[in-house]
Structure 1
Amino acid sequence: MSGVQVRGAVVDEQTRCVHYASARDVVAIRFYCCREYYPCHRCHAEAAEHPAQTWPRELWDRPAVLCGVCRSELAVAEYLDADSKCPRCSAAFNPGCSLHQHLYFG
Protein backbone atom coordinates (compact mmCIF):
# COMPACT_ATOMS: atom_id res chain seq x y z
CA MET A 1 0.00 0.00 0.00
CA SER A 2 2.67 2.49 -0.97
CA GLY A 3 0.01 5.03 -1.98
CA VAL A 4 -1.16 5.60 1.61
CA GLN A 5 -0.68 9.23 2.61
CA VAL A 6 0.65 9.99 6.09
CA ARG A 7 -0.15 13.47 7.37
CA GLY A 8 1.59 15.55 10.01
CA ALA A 9 5.23 16.34 10.65
CA VAL A 10 6.60 13.32 8.77
CA VAL A 11 10.37 13.43 8.30
CA ASP A 12 11.02 10.31 6.22
CA GLU A 13 9.41 7.68 4.01
CA GLN A 14 9.16 5.20 6.90
CA THR A 15 6.76 7.49 8.82
CA ARG A 16 9.17 8.84 11.42
CA CYS A 17 8.18 12.30 12.61
CA VAL A 18 9.66 15.26 14.42
CA HIS A 19 8.37 13.84 17.72
CA TYR A 20 9.44 10.20 17.38
CA ALA A 21 12.36 9.44 15.09
CA SER A 22 14.24 6.41 16.41
CA ALA A 23 15.10 3.48 14.16
CA ARG A 24 12.00 1.66 15.47
CA ASP A 25 9.50 4.51 15.06
CA VAL A 26 8.12 3.13 11.82
CA VAL A 27 4.35 2.98 12.32
CA ALA A 28 1.59 5.43 11.55
CA ILE A 29 -1.87 5.29 13.06
CA ARG A 30 -5.10 5.82 11.15
CA PHE A 31 -7.09 7.94 13.56
CA TYR A 32 -10.68 6.83 14.04
CA CYS A 33 -12.03 10.37 14.03
CA CYS A 34 -10.81 11.33 10.56
CA ARG A 35 -9.59 8.03 9.04
CA GLU A 36 -6.29 9.75 8.22
CA TYR A 37 -2.86 8.35 9.01
CA TYR A 38 -0.52 10.31 11.30
CA PRO A 39 2.84 9.20 12.72
CA CYS A 40 1.78 9.95 16.29
CA HIS A 41 -0.79 11.55 18.58
CA ARG A 42 1.22 14.77 18.74
CA CYS A 43 1.26 15.12 14.94
CA HIS A 44 -2.53 14.67 14.91
CA ALA A 45 -3.01 17.25 17.68
CA GLU A 46 -0.90 19.78 15.79
CA ALA A 47 -2.30 19.23 12.30
CA ALA A 48 -5.92 18.07 12.63
CA GLU A 49 -8.63 20.58 13.37
CA HIS A 50 -10.57 18.29 15.69
CA PRO A 51 -9.94 16.22 18.83
CA ALA A 52 -8.71 12.66 18.45
CA GLN A 53 -11.06 9.72 18.98
CA THR A 54 -9.97 6.18 19.81
CA TRP A 55 -10.87 3.08 17.81
CA PRO A 56 -13.80 1.25 19.48
CA ARG A 57 -12.89 -2.29 20.48
CA GLU A 58 -15.60 -3.73 18.20
CA LEU A 59 -13.73 -2.28 15.20
CA TRP A 60 -10.29 -3.63 16.04
CA ASP A 61 -10.55 -5.90 13.00
CA ARG A 62 -10.20 -2.84 10.71
CA PRO A 63 -6.93 -1.61 9.19
CA ALA A 64 -5.63 1.19 11.40
CA VAL A 65 -1.84 0.82 11.60
CA LEU A 66 0.64 1.29 8.77
CA CYS A 67 4.06 -0.32 8.80
CA GLY A 68 6.41 2.33 7.50
CA VAL A 69 8.89 -0.28 6.25
CA CYS A 70 6.72 -2.54 4.04
CA ARG A 71 3.68 -0.19 3.89
CA SER A 72 1.30 -2.95 4.98
CA GLU A 73 -1.89 -1.89 6.74
CA LEU A 74 -2.57 -3.88 9.90
CA ALA A 75 -5.78 -4.31 11.83
CA VAL A 76 -5.67 -2.93 15.37
CA ALA A 77 -5.86 -6.42 16.89
CA GLU A 78 -3.13 -7.69 14.55
CA TYR A 79 -0.86 -4.80 15.55
CA LEU A 80 -1.51 -5.26 19.27
CA ASP A 81 -0.71 -8.98 19.00
CA ALA A 82 2.43 -8.43 16.91
CA ASP A 83 4.95 -8.31 19.78
CA SER A 84 6.57 -5.06 18.55
CA LYS A 85 7.35 -6.24 15.04
CA CYS A 86 5.53 -6.22 11.74
CA PRO A 87 3.81 -9.57 11.10
CA ARG A 88 4.40 -9.09 7.37
CA CYS A 89 8.06 -7.97 7.08
CA SER A 90 9.37 -8.46 10.67
CA ALA A 91 10.52 -4.83 10.96
CA ALA A 92 11.03 -3.91 14.61
CA PHE A 93 8.47 -1.52 16.09
CA ASN A 94 9.17 0.69 19.09
CA PRO A 95 7.96 -1.24 22.17
CA GLY A 96 7.49 2.13 23.91
CA CYS A 97 4.50 2.77 21.65
CA SER A 98 2.49 0.60 24.03
CA LEU A 99 2.57 3.54 26.46
CA HIS A 100 0.37 5.47 24.01
CA GLN A 101 -2.11 2.74 23.01
CA HIS A 102 -4.84 4.30 25.13
CA LEU A 103 -4.62 7.40 22.90
CA TYR A 104 -5.42 5.37 19.76
CA PHE A 105 -7.38 2.28 20.76
CA GLY A 106 -10.32 2.45 23.20
Structure 2
Amino acid sequence: MTQIFGLTIDSFGRCVHYHSAVDIVANKCYSCKKYYACFSCHNELENHSFEPWPIEKKTMDKVVLCGACQHEMTYFDYQSSEKCRQCQQPFNLNCMKHHAIYFSEKN
Protein backbone atom coordinates (compact mmCIF):
# COMPACT_ATOMS: atom_id res chain seq x y z
CA MET A 1 0.00 0.00 0.00
CA THR A 2 1.38 3.39 -1.00
CA GLN A 3 1.54 5.82 1.89
CA ILE A 4 -0.32 9.11 1.74
CA PHE A 5 1.31 11.68 3.99
CA GLY A 6 -0.47 14.54 5.63
CA LEU A 7 -2.81 15.42 8.40
CA THR A 8 -5.21 12.67 7.33
CA ILE A 9 -8.50 11.88 8.94
CA ASP A 10 -9.44 8.65 7.18
CA SER A 11 -8.19 5.67 5.20
CA PHE A 12 -9.00 7.31 1.85
CA GLY A 13 -6.36 10.00 2.40
CA ARG A 14 -8.78 12.81 3.14
CA CYS A 15 -7.17 15.42 5.34
CA VAL A 16 -8.19 18.14 7.76
CA HIS A 17 -8.05 20.69 4.92
CA TYR A 18 -10.04 18.77 2.25
CA HIS A 19 -12.37 16.06 3.49
CA SER A 20 -15.49 15.80 1.35
CA ALA A 21 -16.55 12.43 -0.08
CA VAL A 22 -14.73 13.21 -3.37
CA ASP A 23 -11.45 14.48 -1.87
CA ILE A 24 -9.62 11.19 -2.43
CA VAL A 25 -6.70 12.22 -4.65
CA ALA A 26 -3.13 12.51 -3.38
CA ASN A 27 -0.45 14.28 -5.42
CA LYS A 28 3.28 13.63 -5.52
CA CYS A 29 5.68 16.45 -4.66
CA TYR A 30 8.49 16.73 -7.20
CA SER A 31 11.04 17.61 -4.54
CA CYS A 32 10.50 14.83 -1.98
CA LYS A 33 8.63 12.34 -4.24
CA LYS A 34 6.01 11.67 -1.53
CA TYR A 35 2.26 11.54 -2.02
CA TYR A 36 0.45 14.12 0.08
CA ALA A 37 -3.23 14.55 0.82
CA CYS A 38 -2.87 18.23 -0.11
CA PHE A 39 -0.28 20.95 -0.52
CA SER A 40 -1.22 22.51 2.83
CA CYS A 41 -0.48 19.27 4.67
CA HIS A 42 2.82 19.00 2.81
CA ASN A 43 3.86 22.53 3.66
CA GLU A 44 2.99 22.05 7.33
CA LEU A 45 4.97 18.81 7.66
CA GLU A 46 8.00 19.25 5.38
CA ASN A 47 10.89 21.74 5.50
CA HIS A 48 10.29 22.77 1.87
CA SER A 49 7.26 24.01 -0.07
CA PHE A 50 5.28 21.68 -2.31
CA GLU A 51 6.98 21.61 -5.69
CA PRO A 52 4.70 20.96 -8.68
CA TRP A 53 5.42 17.99 -10.93
CA PRO A 54 6.76 19.11 -14.34
CA ILE A 55 4.42 17.79 -17.00
CA GLU A 56 5.84 17.17 -20.43
CA LYS A 57 3.82 16.05 -23.42
CA LYS A 58 4.74 12.38 -23.17
CA THR A 59 5.57 11.90 -19.50
CA MET A 60 4.40 8.61 -18.06
CA ASP A 61 5.39 9.39 -14.46
CA LYS A 62 2.91 8.17 -11.88
CA VAL A 63 2.13 11.34 -9.93
CA VAL A 64 -1.49 11.02 -8.77
CA LEU A 65 -2.86 8.43 -6.36
CA CYS A 66 -6.46 7.40 -5.76
CA GLY A 67 -6.92 7.23 -2.01
CA ALA A 68 -9.82 4.80 -2.36
CA CYS A 69 -8.00 1.98 -4.18
CA GLN A 70 -4.33 3.07 -4.27
CA HIS A 71 -4.28 3.18 -8.08
CA GLU A 72 -1.37 5.31 -9.31
CA MET A 73 -2.02 7.45 -12.37
CA THR A 74 -0.13 9.60 -14.78
CA TYR A 75 -1.12 13.25 -15.06
CA PHE A 76 -2.85 12.46 -18.35
CA ASP A 77 -4.86 9.56 -16.88
CA TYR A 78 -6.02 11.79 -14.07
CA GLN A 79 -6.87 14.78 -16.26
CA SER A 80 -8.88 12.73 -18.74
CA SER A 81 -11.39 11.34 -16.24
CA GLU A 82 -13.75 12.56 -13.55
CA LYS A 83 -13.32 9.33 -11.61
CA CYS A 84 -10.75 6.65 -10.91
CA ARG A 85 -10.43 4.30 -13.85
CA GLN A 86 -9.82 1.37 -11.52
CA CYS A 87 -12.45 1.73 -8.76
CA GLN A 88 -14.79 4.31 -10.36
CA GLN A 89 -14.76 6.59 -7.28
CA PRO A 90 -15.51 10.17 -8.40
CA PHE A 91 -12.87 12.89 -7.99
CA ASN A 92 -13.43 16.44 -6.77
CA LEU A 93 -13.78 18.53 -9.93
CA ASN A 94 -12.83 21.65 -7.94
CA CYS A 95 -9.26 20.33 -7.75
CA MET A 96 -8.64 21.99 -11.11
CA LYS A 97 -8.49 25.27 -9.18
CA HIS A 98 -5.20 24.00 -7.71
CA HIS A 99 -3.71 22.73 -10.98
CA ALA A 100 -0.78 25.18 -10.90
CA ILE A 101 0.11 24.10 -7.37
CA TYR A 102 0.43 20.42 -8.27
CA PHE A 103 1.59 20.51 -11.93
CA SER A 104 3.84 22.72 -14.02
CA GLU A 105 3.39 22.65 -17.77
CA LYS A 106 6.49 22.29 -19.91
CA ASN A 107 6.48 22.43 -23.67
- TM-score after normalising by structure 2: 0.90
Amino acid aligned to 2:41: C
Aligned residues of 2:27 and 2:36 also touching (Cα < 8 A): yes
Unaligned runs of 5+ in 2: none
Aligned mates of 1:94, 1:60 — CA distance in 2: 23
Instruction: Find out whether 1:31 has 2:29 as its counterpart.
Output: yes
Counterpart position of 1:72: 71
**Partner residue in 2 for 1:88:** 86
Stretches of 4+ aligned residues off by more than 2 angstroms = none
Q: How far 1:33 moved relative to its partner?
A: 1.1
Query: How much identity, in percent, do the aligned residues show?
Result: 40
Q: How does 1:1-106 map to 2 (within 5 A)?
A: 3-58=1-56, 60-82=59-81, 84-106=82-104
SS in 2 for 1:103: helix
> Which amino acid in the other structure matches residue 64 of structure 1?
V
Shift of the alpha carbon at 1:18? 0.1
- TM (norm. structure 1) is 0.91
CA distance in 1, matches of 2:4, 2:52: 18
> Given residue 93 of structure 2, which amino acid in structure 1 is its aligned partner?
P
Report the RMSD for the aligned CA atoms in angstroms. Answer: 1.2
